[in-house]
Amino acid sequence: MTTVFDANLKLPLFGKGKVRDTYIAGDKLIIVATDRISAFDSVLPTAIPDKGIVLNQISAFWFGKTYHVVHNHMIESIESNRALLKYARGRRPLPQMIMGRSMAVLKAERIPVECVVRGYIAGAAWSEYKKSGTINGKKAPKGLKESQELPEPLFTPTTKAEKGHDLPMNSKQLADLVGNKTAGILEEKSVALYNYAREYASGRGIIIADTKFEFGFYDKEIILIDEALTPDSSRFWDADQYKPGRSQPNYDKQYVRDWLTAAGWNHKPPAPALPPDVVKATTERYSDAYFLLTGRKLKNVFS
């Protein structure tokens, strides 16, 4: 296993997120998925070995599988020495450590919205429901249990905050920000992507409880960008152990959130380090998600 906390490529930096480092390569971008992990809006000081490879490979898998639903920004996943040379832009070859964890993408104009789709009630939606009986400010059916399937998937967009916490948006706020036409496309494509992926994953032992997407404009078309249906951006539950009324056995970073809360962290920076057993269990969860969805073991990514 390998660990990459910072990419540090010899290319112009386009942006640095909680997990991904993005660089400029001519008219394209190189996105490197590091092994950083974030929780409660903070980047933890402990990396999760091979996490970035899982994120990149799962995103590449879904980008290929959902292209008929909506076009996306992926040109190719960088997995060869030839690709490393292609995007070095006349400089020394890109470092081998980014193979498998990086992707060449179109340079799209990002739409500043997190497009969240919920098929089950969990996380922030469950917290809101317990307090007010609403989900994203709208009245929800009475008597719902934690983790219960919703009558139909809900589109619950939020702001895309550069720092701090993303804030919920209602339909009017979304339309005011991006326009009615764009708002409608974001909802339509987000729900369509979720429904397609949810059906696919259900046949492979995973319930996708919720997920979030990002979109951007490229050549006047709205396309899917960033990542797609990963354990970082989604709740992946074990279908065989699913039972409403409780937190679910999962293949995502909820395990880390739960540990941090149980450890007594107040969710304010600085975040504490993760112990070795939590790191190991998190790596295993991410690798299991990759295997269940793709049918391939992580060690065989390049075989």
Residue 61, domain extent:
13-107
> Any idea what the CATH number is for the domain that residue 78 is in?
3.30.200.20
* pLDDT one-digit tens code per residue, 152-208: 999 999 998 766 678 899 999 999 999 999 999 999 999 999 999 999 999 999 999
Confidence grade of residue 299 (pLDDT, cut at 50, 70, 90): low
Confidence grade of residue 303 (pLDDT, cut at 50, 70, 90): very low
| Tokens standing for residue 171 | 């339909």
Across 282-288, average pLDDT = 96
Q: What is the pLDDT of residue 162?
A: 65
Q: What is the pLDDT of residue 67?
A: 98
In contact, 294 and 57? CB cutoff 8 Å: yes
Q: Please report, as a single letter, which amino acid is at residue 273.
A: A
pLDDT over threshold 60, residue 110:
yes
90 and 185 inside one domain:
no
* pLDDT one-digit tens code per residue, 8-65: 999 999 999 999 999 999 999 999 999 999 999 999 999 999 999 999 999 999 999 9
* Residue 298: count of CB within 10 angstroms of its CB: 18
89 and 143 inside one domain:
no
Closest CA to 174 of 188, 189, 162, 184: 184
Last residue of a domain, one of 210, 231, 252: 252
CA pair distance 176, 188, nearest whole angstrom? 17
116 and 77 inside one domain:
no
220 and 146 inside one domain:
yes
Last residue of a domain, one of 80, 107, 134: 107
Looking at per-residue pLDDT, the higher value among 157 and 297 belongs to 157
Across 143-147, average pLDDT = 98
Beta bridge partners of 223: 216
DSSP 8-class letter at 267: S
**Domain-located, residue 302:** no
> Any idea what the CATH number is for the domain that residue 166 is in?
3.30.470.20
Q: What is the pLDDT of residue 92?
A: 78
